[in-house]
Amino acid sequence: MTADEIRKAILEILHDIAPDEDLSGLKDEVPLRDQLPLDSMDFLDIVMELRKRYRIQIPEEEYTELASMASTVKYLEPKMKDM
């Protein structure tokens, strides 16, 4: 997957988790939690959806890599490059 495809996949997951939120104005460098009303359970839902949809295992100690859209895409690019 390309960076744009990964970003689109993350947006789809975010839409499923927070369907009433407007995701069109998300800033790539700003933490997602500062832009959306995501709690720790929502964050775990993101991790679980990545596991379910793409078979991506994210160790708990690496959850901080998923703070912003930019860091999430950068973290997932090598893991999803062959998908």
Q: CATH code at 75? A: 1.10.1200.10
**Average predicted confidence (pLDDT) for the chain:** 95
Residue 48 CA to residue 70 CA, distance in Å, equals 19
The reported pTM is: 0.91
Rg (the chain; Cα; Å): 12
In the chain, the number of structural domains is 1
Is residue 72 packed enough to be buried (19+ CB in 10 Å), middle (13-18) or exposed (0-12)?
buried
- CA geometry: angle 5, 56, 14, nearest 5 deg: 55
Average pLDDT over residues 43-60: 96
- 81: Cα within 13 Å, side-chain hemisphere: 5
Q: At 79, which amino acid appears?
A: K
| Domain span including residue 9 | 3-80
Average pLDDT over residues 14-35: 95
Percent of the chain beyond pLDDT 70? 100
